[in-house]
A = this chain, B = another copy of it.
Amino acid sequence: MTIRVTVWGENVHEQKNRAVAEIYPATMHGTIAAALNQAGGISAGTVTLQDAEHGLTPAKLAATDVLIWWGHAAHGEVKDEIAERPFKRLMGAPCNLSWREAGERERLWVTSRQHPIARGLPDHFEIEHEEMYGEPFGVPEPLETVFVSWFQGGEVFRSGLTWRRGAGNIFYFRPGHETYPTYHQPVVQQVIANAVRWAHNPEARLTDPNAAPNRPVGQTLEPVVERGPRLHHDGEAGLR
**Which residues of A come within 8 Å of B, CB atoms?**
13, 17, 19, 72-73, 75-76, 89-94, 96-104, 107, 109-114, 116, 119, 123-124, 129, 132, 134-138, 140-141, 143-145, 148-156, 158, 163-167, 178-180, 201, 203-204, 206, 209-217, 220-222, 224-232, 238-240
Contacts A143-B141, A145-B141 hold; do A240 and B75 have CB atoms under 8 A apart? Answer: yes
Q: Across the interface, name the chain B residue whose C-beta is closest to A74.
A: B239
Least distance between A136 CB and chain B CB atoms (Å)? 5
Contacts A154-B107, A165-B140 hold; do A102 and B179 have CB atoms under 8 A apart? Answer: no
Which of B98, B101, B148 lies in contact with A135, CB distance below 8 A? B148
Q: For A209, what are the chain B residues with a Cβ–Cβ distance below 8 Å?
A: 94, 96, 138
How many copies are assembled? Answer: 4
Contact A230 B136 (CB under 8 A): no
Contact B140 A164 (CB under 8 A): yes
What are 13 A-B pairs at a CB distance below 8 A? A13-B231, A17-B231, A73-B239, A90-B93, A94-B210, A96-B209, A96-B210, A99-B238, A112-B164, A114-B201, A152-B224, A178-B231, A180-B228
Which of B90, B144, B231 lies in contact with A101, CB distance below 8 A? B231
Q: For A153, what are the chain B residues with a Cβ–Cβ distance below 8 Å?
A: 215, 217, 220-222, 224
